[in-house]
Each structure stands twice: as C-alpha cells, then as structure tokens.
C-alpha cells in the first residue's frame, strides 16, 4: 500500500510538470494563429453549425459539412462544440481570436492523456518503475510539448493510437465483448481524426492472431494439436473481427458522416493528400522536402529536435533492444506477445511514414510515446543487470 502511494505521488508530480510545460504560454502568438494547419482547421470550424432538419443534414450543402478532409472531421466537431460551450462564459472563445486557445487547451489535455497511457503501458509491459520512467521521458519530450501548443490533429491521433495499443494488449490477455466494443470505438475515433490511423490495423491483426503465432512457434511439429485448436481460433477471430469492425465503422460514420454523404469531395481531397506523401512537388509548401533521404531525415530530426540527443540515444537503443529480444528469445516468455503488438505498430508506422516524400516532424508524433516506453524499459533492464 505504501509503495502504491509513493508511485501515485511520483506520477502526480510528473503529470503536473508535463501539464505545466504543455499549458505554459499557450497564447504565444497573441491570437494571430501563425501555424498554418491550426489556422486552416479553425477557419473551417468557425462556420459549422448544426442543421435545422435531418434533410438538411443529409445534403452536401449542410452547414455541418466542413468541406475539409485533409484531416478527419472529429477534431473540427470537437473544437466547435467545446468552443461554443466556452463561448457562454466568454464570447471571444467562440470567435477567431479566442477559439485557438480552446483548441490548444484540448490539444494539451489529449497529450496528457497520452502520458497516462505511456505510464500504463510501461507498467503492463514491465512494472510501475518502468512506467514512471517512460512517463517522465514523455513529459519532457520536446515535440509533444511543442505540438500541445497548436490545435492540429497530431496530439489527438497519438492519444487514440497509444490507447488502442494498451487496450489491445489488455484484450489479448483477457478478451471479452466489452473490450472488443471499446477497441472498435477507439478505431472509429482514430480514423475520424486522421486517415493515417489505418496503420494501427496491423497491430490489431497481430493482437488477434498472437495466440496462433505462439502456437506455431511453440508447437511446430504437433499437427493434431493444431487441428483441435485452429477451428476454435478461427471462429473466435471472426467473432471479434465482426464486433470490432461493426462498431468501428458505425462510430466513424457518426463522427465523419460526410465522408459518405459528400464522398466525391472526400475522395478528391484524400487522393490529393496521398499524392503529397509521394511527391514533394505536389504543393508549394512541400517543396522544402525535395531531395530528403527517407528514414534518415526523420531520425535526424528526432535526434536533434524532437527528443534531443540524450533521450534520443536512449530511445533508439531501447527500440533496438526490444526488437532484438522479441525476435531472438522472447517467444516463451509471458510478455512476448504484448511487446510484439507494440513493436509491430512501431515498425509498421515508421516504415510507412518514414518513406513519405515529405517530412513534417509532427507526422512521427505517434512514435514518441513508444520511443519513451522502450527507452525506459531499456534503462530499467540496464540498471537491473548492473545492480
């Protein structure tokens, strides 16, 4: 009991430090909205209002249609609803000059949510001490602090992806109907935040088939055992996939209805964004990335600016250590499948986004919680072996 109180007290201190860093001077540009993505989101959010009839809602010209699909619609709707509520306290918070402050507060709170998820992941994969170290690393990471001072979608997306990983591990350990529904809901929220969330599906598949992977690795020469297990596994897999898919699609449609109702515009903008990731000549503001070296450019930025040299070295070593252990000798250990779910997402996301023709640093934000997580686990293992 005493140890639990100490852990909670330390985590509270880490949380408060992180909050101070994220909410400090959020009005840094005095309401001029100098960040172009933040400004675009706000300009498309301000005109939104609920339609007066259901027929108007179904129309492409609906006032609830953002006509903006570079990102998902959920962040716009969230900002509109919260800023409108805040406007009853101060009308400026619902207008151009003040809505940015509301958005930045939302961004900061989501990033603090990610901090909690990092602690929970560290505690689940190792123990509370590793969780505290991971949370401390994330609390002082530069890029999450910076992006908490903007209302773009990256902190929101990172929160949902990190939480999905945690729930996937929990689902693998003890699957049930409620967790399957929760995973589906989180997927719907993530997709309605940014379409790049689709990479998480690889970890979802890994979590659902982890038992089969372990069966193959641990019993490669027992076909009779396989034939008894595989039919049950397939039926369970189909059931879970149906639940997660149905809930995920339903939530996505609720949060981004005009992806269907205004599909032509949605598809056109989605294709344009996809083209941008393949060709830096697509837009004038992406010309700065012409000639970058894929992967190296991202790692360099993470090292120099996103985490800083010291934390980056620890994090890089942690990822490499965790990956080598998972590949070589971890299949018979209790935490192998749990770590595999996280590592599969890390490498799938890094290999997918790292080869983009453009290199906005914020695109890599979903990996920062995992950098901090495995960096903390690496340091914990090192300290344990030295002592």
Quick one: pLDDT band at residue 216, thresholds 50, 70, 90?
low
Q: Residue range 13-23: average pLDDT?
A: 98
Chain-centroid distance, C-alpha 355: 19
CB 331, CB 214: distance < 8 Å: yes
pLDDT at 336: 79
| Residue 367: predicted pLDDT | 97
pLDDT for the residue 330: 59
Note the pTM of the prediction, 2 decimals. Answer: 0.95
Query: What confidence category does residue 196 fall into, taking pLDDT thresholds of 50, 70 and 90?
Result: confident
The first and second tokens of residue 158, run together, are 């990172």
For the chain, what percent of residues have pLDDT higher than 90? Answer: 73
30: left (phi over 0), alpha (psi -120 to 50) or beta: left
For residue 12 the two structure tokens come to 């509270």
User: Is the predicted pLDDT of residue 220 greater than 70, yes or no?
Assistant: no
144: closest CA among 285, 305, 29? 305
Split at pLDDT 50, 70, 90, the class of 107 is: very high
pLDDT, mean over the chain? 91
Cα(35)–Cα(151) distance, rounded to whole angstroms? 9
Q: What is the DSSP letter of 281?
A: T
Q: Domain map of the chain by residue range? A: 2-23+36-49+69-259+270-386
> 137 falls in which pLDDT band (50, 70, 90)?
very high
Burial of 256 (0-12, 13-18, 19+ CB in 10 A): buried
* Each residue's pLDDT tens digit, 259-297: 999 999 999 999 988 898 888 877 888 888 898 999 999
For residue 1, what pLDDT is reported?
Answer: 60
Q: What percent of the chain is predicted at pLDDT more than 70?
A: 94
pLDDT of 26-39, one tens digit each? 999 988 888 899 99
């Amino acid at each position: 009991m005493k140890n639990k109180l100490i852990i909670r007290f330390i985590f509270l201190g880490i949380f408060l430090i992180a909050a101070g860093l994220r909410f400090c001077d959020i009005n840094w540009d005095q309401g001029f909205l100098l960040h172009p993505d933040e400004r675009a989101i706000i300009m498309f959010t301000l005109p939104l209002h609920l339609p007066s009839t259901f027929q108007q809602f179904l129309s492409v010209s609906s006032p609830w249609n953002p006509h903006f699909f570079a990102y998902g619609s959920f962040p716009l709707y969230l900002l509109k609803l919260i800023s409108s509520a805040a406007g009853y306290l101060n009308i400026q918070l619902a207008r151009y000059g003040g809505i940015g402050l509301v958005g930045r507060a939302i961004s900061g709170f989501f990033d603090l949510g990610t901090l909690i998820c990092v602690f929970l992941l560290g505690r689940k994969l190792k123990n509370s001490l590793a969780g505290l170290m991971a949370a401390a690393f994330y609390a002082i990471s530069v890029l999450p602090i910076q992006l908490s001072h903007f209302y773009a979608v990256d902190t929101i997306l990172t929160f949902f992806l990190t939480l999905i990983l945690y729930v996937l591990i929990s689902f693998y350990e003890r699957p049930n109907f409620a967790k399957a529904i929760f995973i589906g809901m989180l997927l719907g929220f993530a997709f309605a935040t940014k379409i790049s969330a689709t990479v998480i599906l690889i970890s979802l598949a890994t979590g659902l088939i982890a038992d089969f992977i372990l069966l193959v690795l641990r019993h490669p020469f027992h076909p009779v055992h396989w034939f008894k297990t595989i039919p049950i596994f397939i039926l369970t897999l189909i059931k879970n996939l149906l639940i997660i898919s149905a809930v995920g699609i339903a939530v996505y449609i609720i949060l981004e209805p005009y992806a269907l109702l205004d599909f032509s515009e949605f598809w056109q903008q989605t294709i344009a964004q996809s083209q941008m990731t393949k060709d830096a000549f697509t837009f004038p503001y992406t010309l700065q990335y012409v000639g970058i070296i894929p992967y190296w450019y991202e790692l360099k930025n993470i090292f120099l600016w996103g985490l800083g040299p010291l934390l980056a070295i620890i994090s890089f070593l942690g990822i490499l250590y965790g990956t080598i252990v998972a590949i070589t000798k971890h299949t018979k250990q209790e935490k192998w499948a749990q770590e595999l779910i996280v590592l599969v997402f890390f490498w799938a996301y890094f290999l997918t986004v790292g080869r983009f023709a453009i290199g906005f640093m914020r695109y890599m934000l979903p990996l920062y919680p995992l950098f901090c997580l495995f960096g903390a686990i690496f340091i914990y293992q090192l300290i344990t072996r030295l002592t």
